[in-house]
Amino acid sequence: MTEHAEVTGELRLAVAQSFASDGPLGRVDSAYSVRDAQLQMAEAVAGAIDANEALVVEAGTGVGKTFAYLVPVLVSGKRTLVSTATKNLQDQLFFRDLPRLRDALGLPATVALLKGRGSYLCRHRLAQAREGAVLPDRMAVRALARIETWAQATTTGDIGELEGLDERSEVIPIVTSTRENCLGSECPEYHACHVMKARRDAMAADIVVVNHHLFFADLALRDSGVAELLPTVDVAVFDEAHQMVEAGIQFLGQTLGTGQVIDFSRDLLAAGLQHARGLLPWAELTGACEKAARDLRLAAAGELHDVRSIVKRRWDEAARGDGLTMALDTLVGALMAAAEAAQGVVESAPDFTRLHGRAKELAAQAARFQKPSPADQVRWVDLTPHQARLIESPLDIRAMMTQQRAAASRAWVFTSATLGDDDALSWFSEAAGLEDARHLRVGSPFDYAAHARVYVPPRFPAPNEAPHNTMVGRAAAHCAAALGGRTFVLTTTLRAMKVVAEALTNELADLGQPLEVLVQGTAAKRALLSRFQQGGSVLVGSQSFWEGIDVPGDALQCVLIDKLPFPPPNDPLVEARVRQLKEQGRDAFNDYFVAEAAISLKQGAGRLIRTETDQGLLVICDTRLRQARYGARLLKALPPMQPLETGEQALAWLRSLR
């Protein structure tokens, strides 16, 4: 296999030969075996590439979807953009999957990895940090010293290379750039810039690996090279496509964050004191911006004083009265004064040209939020302990995807293990404007009926009843006791997680079981998973543990879900989608709430069986699955696990696995 297949029909044949038992994959891997589901998907991808068509594929766990799209891409020889959900998955594709397949197939494809600019060291800002950064503690000082040492040797500048550096470190924003503070071609380090090198490599490569956030952010802001790259590719593949809509909504909208204003103020103060000290009252100007930002947060929060995580607040609530309008007025005034000051000293340093632009842009965003929202957009406020973000967003990515597909003739492939609970994969296809695409559902090759059981307690407190979370914790303790640990407890909210974890700990103590209870937030996600895989523990997690977690083998044999994961009805985006569906004359509960719950339930259940030999029990502590008219639809969305009728049967199954 040294030549690319280009003629219609030849690509399908070449792909089939690649997956044959005596083909190139089989020759380099003695454990390789042909999977009919994988071949079916690969041939469909080859057909889409040949015909420049759109294909939406739901591929169950174990199909091997990554190879099913990468082999046709490599064999076709066509220039391809591959987008996936996270930076970790990007690294897996770039460092492991693509090199392995490229070598096996004997094809000379060049591959590049492109991340957002915040993932790359900025040499100019590192030099500035070395001279005058104010660091919060000794750990930050040590982290900066490590980065300085690593900076001498790195060729990519990818911060992800630094093992052990916490991705939440306060040092990272100091030594990386943003679209706002990058000096561009005016930067003294421009020719050695790691971001520019990554973009040049991407423009020269046959296959470029990006992530969804970068893809949408760049289409919205044209900041990281994807907008220039996309017109040059023949094939665009989106893995973990179920996360695309959320990523698109996040980046295609408009945002004004009080943190952005404070960052700008500090950058302006630093530049003013360094390059134009004494020329203008920098402390006064930037102090006014910071105070206006903090006052805006207070106005946006209203009576919500104690915010400990992210809280979404409806726009009509936040904008009630004059507080928000007055705070935005004050902010616009402070930013325009700062912009005028920066413009007055642009001759002093290139930093001031960029700072003037940032101030004007932030002021324009603040002014935007003083006007009524367009009819096809929804507005809300995200509150965190440290900042407020005013957000205006589209409800879906239909318009953007339709525009991109119309712009040029190319193949589009969208794939995930969960894209809908019907053959049209409506949950994803409608939101992405892909009803006209070809749709394919490829089931998992795993024998769920033999290896997995599902148990819904026939009698259990309803999710809205006070004892529910406590009973979930107690039920989880009995499951974990039967297995000696090896249990995931997935909750739908952080509040429920804390109650469940406490009840679980207490019940384990009463049962005399010395099992460790690991709780999301008490340590980094990777550290919690590492500890869990060592055995003898139960892991309790909320949203970030429902997907993307891979614990194969005996280490995980029970997944317990507290209740059906319906979207929160008072979420501003949810409310807007419900209004939209009602205006279309549709049933919002069936078409939206149940469809969303089916997707989330499939994601959570997907943690249980990860290989052909895995065995386990799925427990869902929500009697609505047995009693409500939509329960059958949600159970049908799950893999075909054998149902159990009593708690005794469930515990007996777990003991048999132990």
pLDDT tens digits, 31-85: 888 899 999 999 999 999 999 999 999 999 999 999 999 999 999 999 999 999 9
**Of 413, 406, 404, whose CA–CA distance to 55 is shortest?**
413
Q: Tell the residue number behind the tokens 């090199």, with chain if given.
A: 99
**Does the pLDDT value for residue 4 go beyond 50?**
no
Question: Exposure string (b/e) for 39-78, b if CB count within 10 Å is 16 or more?
Answer: bbbbbbbbbbbbeebbbbbbbbbbbbbbbbbbbbbbbbbb
Burial of 410 (0-12, 13-18, 19+ CB in 10 A): buried
Domain over 448-657 is classified CATH 3.20.20.370: no
| 242-285 per-position pLDDT tens digit | 999 989 988 888 899 999 999 899 989 989 998 999 999 999 99
**Vertex 252: Cα angle to 248 and 253 (nearest 5):** 120
pLDDT of 250 reads 83
Helices 65-76 and 36-51: crossing angle, nearest 10°? Answer: 40
Residue 534: its pLDDT value, please?
Answer: 93
> What are phi and psi for residue 485, nearest 5 degrees?
105, -135
Per-position b or e across 364-373, b if 16+ CB within 10 A of its CB: ebbbebeeee
The first and second tokens of residue 282, run together, are 């920098």
CA atoms 284, 290, 292, 298: torsion sign: negative
∠ CA 118-122-128, rounded to 5°: 125
Q: Alpha carbon of 446 to those of 72, 353, 358, 606: distances in Å?
A: 24, 59, 53, 12
Q: Give residue 3's pLDDT.
A: 44
Q: What is the pLDDT of residue 565?
A: 96
- Euclidean distance between CA atoms 178 and 167, whole angstroms: 16
Give, in degrees to the nearest 5, the angle at Cα 440 between 438 and 444.
165
Contact 375, 201 (CB under 8 A): no
Do 611 and 552 form a contact (C-beta atoms < 8 A)?
yes
Q: What percent of the chain stands above pLDDT 70?
A: 97
CA atoms within 13 A on the CB side of 149: 7
Task: Record the tokens describing residue 443, joined without a space.
Answer: 């089931």
Are the folds of 10-116+197-246+400-442 and 252-394 the same?
A: no
Give the CA distances from residue 202 to residues 70, 93, 114, 189, 410, in Å, rounded to whole numbers and listed in that order.
17, 15, 7, 20, 18
Q: How many residues does the chain have?
A: 658
Res. 133 pLDDT band, cuts 50 70 90: low
DSSP per position, 235-288 = EEEESSGGGHHHHHHHHHSEEEEHHHHHHHHHHHHHHHHHHSTTTS-HHHHHHH
Whole-number Å distance between alpha carbons of 525 and 541 = 10
For 594-621, what is the mean pLDDT? 94
Across 525-545, average pLDDT: 92
- Token pair, residue 408, equals 């040029």
For the structural domain made of 252-394, what CATH number should be given?
1.10.275
Tokens of 563: 């209740």
pTM assigned to the model: 0.89
Question: What distances in angstroms separate CA 448 from CA 125, 380, 606, 625, 642, one per listed residue?
Answer: 53, 42, 11, 19, 8
* The predicted structure's pLDDT at residue 224: 60
Using DSSP's 3-state secondary structure scheme, residue 30 falls into: coil
* Type of residue at 435: E
CA distance 248 to 60: 24
CA distance 189 to 347: 20
Which pLDDT band, with edges at 50, 70 and 90, does 566 fall under?
very high
pLDDT for the residue numbered 2: 36
Q: What does the pLDDT read at residue 76?
A: 96
Show the tokens assigned to 59: 């591929």
- Tell me whether strands 311-314 and 377-383 are parallel, antiparallel or unpaired: antiparallel
Structural domain 10-116+197-246+400-442, CATH architecture: 3-Layer(aba) Sandwich (3.40)
Nearest to 107 by CA among 81, 70, 82: 70
Which residue reads 């499939």 in tokens? 602
> What's the pLDDT score for residue 251?
84
DSSP-assigned beta bridge partners for residue 292 = none
| pLDDT of 206 over the 70 cut | yes
Report how far residue 313's alpha carbon sits from residue 293's, in angstroms, rounded to the nearest whole number.
18
Instruction: Break the chain into its structural domains and give their ranges.
Output: 10-116+197-246+400-442, 252-394, 448-657
Q: Output b/e per residue, 195-210; b: 16+ Cβ within 10 A.
A: bbebbebbeebbbbbb
